[in-house]
Each structure stands twice: as C-alpha cells, then as structure tokens.
Amino acid sequence: MYPFILEILSDEDKIQVIEAWELREICLQPLQLALESRARKLGHTALAGIQTMFKDERFRSSMETSDEDKWLPSQVLTVLAGAHSLAEDLQIEVMKLLLNMTVTASWCTSAKTIIKIAQIFFSHIHLGTNSLLKSLYMKCQDTNILLVKSSLLHG
C-alpha cells in the first residue's frame, strides 16, 4: 500500500529535499492505520515503528516549522489519541511510550505537548479496566516512575 515510503527512506537525495515533518507524516499514516485496525500484531509493529522514529535522525529537524502540530511529539500524539480502545497489552505499550516521551526533554518541548500527553494518559486510566491499571502499575514499578504509581494508587 505504501511502497514509496521505503523508496523515500532509502534515497538520500529525496530525504534531503523533503521536510522532516512531511517525512514523519508520510510514515505515520500507515502506522496509524495499523493501530486503528485493532489487530494485535499490526499494533505491536506500529508501536515499534513509532519507537524507531524517535531514534532515527531522518525524522528529526534542527529547525521545526512554526506549526506545533507538525512537531514530532504532536504528530505521534495524534496517532496515539485513539489508543485507549486497543487491546490491553497494546495500551500498556502506548503508556510506556508516553512515559518515555514525558521524561525525555527533547520530546516535551512545549506545554501543549505535555497537556496532550496527560490527556491521552488519563483517558487510558479513566477508561481502563482494573487489570489494565494493575498491569500499568507493575510496569511502572519496573521503570521506577513514582509519579505514575502515586497517581494510580490515590486516583
């Protein structure tokens, strides 16, 4: 469906011409479709793709556009906005991704981004099942994120 994406990513000349936000938009579209399909295997692949984008320099720009919605964190958060309807194991992976975004200074560059992360995070907690909350608590113990543990216990 999107074979041109591999062509773009493998061609240095094309990558030099296209803006980072445009490249992210092109690559995030099939990942969003994979998440929306609610197929577990596709969902895991999509989340792995998003995590890869965070590490890949081709998706970063030293000068982002003035439109905050085209910044990497905002684009990813748009893809993850409907993730509360995913299977529990995928929701946990989304939560881990959100937590990683929160504690990485380069991904939380504005108050708007932090608010979006909090909205998605709390929609998962509000709509989640008890087993999801317990699983999330256990994952938070693994990563020693005390703030999340505290909000889950007292919320």
Residue range 90-134, pLDDT digits in tens: 888 888 888 777 776 666 567 777 777 777 777 766 666 566 666
Q: CB–CB of 47/76 below 8 Å?
A: no
Q: Please give the structure tokens belonging to residue 138.
A: 């256990």
More confident site: 128 or 67 = 67
Res 129: pLDDT? 58
Full residue range of the structural domain in which residue 48 is found:
3-154
How high does pLDDT run on average in the chain?
77
d(CA 136, CA 138): 5
d(CA 53, CA 61): 12
Res 138: pLDDT? 63
d(CA 99, CA 6): 29
Q: Please give the structure tokens belonging to residue 59.
A: 């998706």
Res 45: pLDDT? 95
Res 39: pLDDT? 92
Amino acid of residue 97: L
d(CA 42, CA 20): 24
Please give the tally of structural domains in the chain: 1
